[in-house]
Chains A and B, each alone.
Chain A
Amino acid sequence: MSILKFRYNPKNELEPGGRSAAPVQQDESEPERTCPNCRKSTPVSRLWANQNVCPCGHHFRLGARQRIGLLADRDSFREMDAALQSCDPLRFSGYEAKLESARLSSGEAEAVLCGTAAIQGQPCCLFVMEPGFMMGSMGTAVGEKLTRLFEYALTHRLPVVGCTVSGGARMQEGLLSLMQMAKVSGAVRRHSDAGLFYLVLLTDPTTGGVTASFAMEGDIILAEPGATVGFAGARVIEQTTRKALPKGFQTAEFLLEHGFADAIVPRSVHRETIGYLLALHGEGGSQ
């Protein structure tokens, strides 16, 4: 019954000497962040100590490296294809400048980080998308990195854990972006056919071509509370249908209700839940 125990005793504080570098201290001048849910302001360091979850339960977005820090065992993440990045294959107007500024502002080369890691001692391949890089949009480099990750996982018989954040396919790479949906799906399929485990964690927001491909292809699909997950954008739907959208439309809870997610898991127990599922699928199975 260990899974029930950690569910009812969520561990919000980071482990001592843990994975966050943020100091827990109060300072007059310290910046605060206002929660879009409860409208209350909380000092940034307090949010950090709580894994960027507001006391009301609202989950703020996490950068890819922050999420890896929360998820993976300490110093276990080994990044792969770190330098792989999109150039501008279509010479799309303004794209090169946009890439440049995305790289500068996010500090990342591309919108996904891939590598091997251990989660609660369980070895796995891990990909985490970066909301700070063009909202995690999928171009050729993202598709190629993910495909290579699944191929690596297949060769080394490892499970894959993936955290999705994406506005969808990156339109500045046109058809080449669209084709990444098929390419990654092919790699997921091969990995799956070999009896290997793929776990998806949907985080805010996961939409468009990513929802219509590898985000929905996991053996188990978990979602972060309140995350927006859908195919078409809510505004587009509103404009096309001219109907008011139902409350909670395209949230993780909406997905769960309609049968498209296995469970909603708060951030405080991501590690334990994913670690448990990795261990379970590693036992007596083909891995």
Chain B
Amino acid sequence: MSISAYDRVKTARDNKRPTGLDFIHGLFTDFLELHGDRRFGDDPAVVGGVARLEGRPVTVIAIERGHGTKDRVARGFGSPNPEGYRKALRLMRQAEKFHRPVVCLIDTAGACCGIGAEERGQGQAIAENLTAMMGLNTPIVSILIGEGGSGGALALAVADRVWMLENAVYSVISPEGCASILWKDAKKADEAAKNLKLTARDALTLSVVERMIGEADLGQPPFYARLRAMLSRELTVLSEQDALLSQRYEWFRRIGTAEQEGNRDT
């Protein structure tokens, strides 16, 4: 029996699944959280700070859904506000200044849909992260660990390496949203999920992510040890690369160029 795309969505959203903070504590040592965007406030849906990865100083940024009802409510269920993305950007610029690589851990249903978020420029905050990350002169590795909801996820995923856990999903819109817009029926979410090609294997086939990470022992020390070793190796490779920014550009530049007709026309 095969696992359907919508089953993966449910797995990715499972409350028992390890969250961003669990990954931070599993992968890194000496994590010190750094708060605030220095402009408006501190968004608890985004957790960022400095840490060590096998001794190497890194900046780590995670979207945190929270554990338990109270924590989840306080963290806006992991849907960041503009100040969350601006905090992430502040920490990334700090990492660039001090030549630290950046590791982003992504798990969000999407950027917060709220009155305040619009008043404070949710679109502008995400847009600024996209352009800033395209030019951030330090290695960035982004890992989709659960849900990768649209622009709210992409705002932390303009990276040199984009990895995805086996049961994570990455999509332009939630399957429920897609079904209700296209077919006026949110119950057709499973069909939408299948059409959207949002599983890790799909993303790998579409060359949108570079690597799929198996979930054996997910959340257990052997899992984190495996991922830590992978990350550490990759950061070494990236730190020795001189054409980092042009390679990052080219990675995104080639996506969706072969899919059109009339390519030769000018």
Chain B contacts for A273, CB-based, 8 A: none
Tell me if B131 and A189 are in contact (CB < 8 A): yes
Known contacts being A232-B118, A249-B118, is A140 close to B256, with CB within 8 Å? yes
Closest CB-CB distance, B157 to chain A, in whole Å? 8
Whether A171 sits at the interface, judged by CB under 8 Å, is yes
Number of interface residues of A (CB under 8 A): 70
Residue of B nearest to A218 (CB): B127
Known contacts being A174-B171, A185-B131, A189-B135, is A258 close to B120, with CB within 8 Å? yes
Tell me if A232 and B158 are in contact (CB < 8 A): no
Whether B237 sits at the interface, judged by CB under 8 Å, is no
Known contacts being A181-B130, A189-B131, is A171 close to B178, with CB within 8 Å? yes
- Could you say which of B172, B249, B260 contacts A175, with CB atoms under 8 Å apart? B172
Closest CB-CB distance, A89 to chain B, in whole Å? 4
For window 139-176 of A, CB contacts with B under 8 Å fall at 139-141, 143-144, 147, 169-176
Q: How many A-B residue pairs have CB under 8 A?
A: 207
Tell me if B124 and A83 are in contact (CB < 8 A): no
One digit per residue, 1 when the CB lies within 8 angstroms of any chain A CB and 0 when it does not, for chain B 135-160 equals 10000000000000011001101100
Chain B contacts for A83, CB-based, 8 A: 261-262, 265
Closest CB-CB distance, A254 to chain B, in whole Å? 8
Tell me if A213 and B197 are in contact (CB < 8 A): no
A85 to B264 CA separation, bound complex (whole angstroms): 11
A241 to B191 CA separation, bound complex (whole angstroms): 27
- Could you say which of A94, A171, A175, A192 contacts B170, with CB atoms under 8 Å apart? A175
Which of B117, B253, B256 has its CB near the most chain A CB atoms (within 10 A)? B256
For window 164-219 of B, CB contacts with A under 8 Å fall at 170-173, 177-178, 181-182, 191, 195-198, 202-203, 206, 208
Known contacts being A83-B262, A214-B127, is A182 close to B158, with CB within 8 Å? yes
Known contacts being A176-B255, A215-B123, is A181 close to B154, with CB within 8 Å? yes
- Could you say which of A174, A180, A208, A260 contacts B121, with CB atoms under 8 Å apart? A260
Whether A179 sits at the interface, judged by CB under 8 Å, is yes
Closest CB-CB distance, B217 to chain A, in whole Å? 28
Whether A132 sits at the interface, judged by CB under 8 Å, is no
Whether A6 sits at the interface, judged by CB under 8 Å, is no
Whether B263 sits at the interface, judged by CB under 8 Å, is yes
Whether B37 sits at the interface, judged by CB under 8 Å, is no
Tell me if A175 and B198 are in contact (CB < 8 A): yes
- Could you say which of B115, B122, B173, B256 contacts A180, with CB atoms under 8 Å apart? B256
One digit per residue, 1 when the CB lies within 8 angstroms of any chain A CB and 0 when it does not, for chain B 231-266 equals 000000000000000001100110111011111011
Known contacts being A144-B260, A246-B115, is A84 close to B265, with CB within 8 Å? yes
One digit per residue, 1 when the CB lies within 8 angstroms of any chain A CB and 0 when it does not, for chain B 40-67 equals 0000000000000000000000000000
7 CB < 8 A contacts A-B = A81-B262, A84-B260, A84-B262, A174-B172, A179-B256, A216-B121, A216-B123
Residue ranges of A at the interface with B (Cβ–Cβ < 8 Å): 80-87, 89-90, 92-94, 109, 139-141, 143-144, 147, 169-183, 185-190, 192-193, 208-209, 211-217, 229-233, 236-237, 240-241, 243, 245-246, 249-250, 254, 258-260
Known: A92-B196, A170-B172, A208-B151. 6 other contacts (CB 8 A): A85-B262, A90-B196, A144-B256, A216-B124, A237-B113, A260-B121
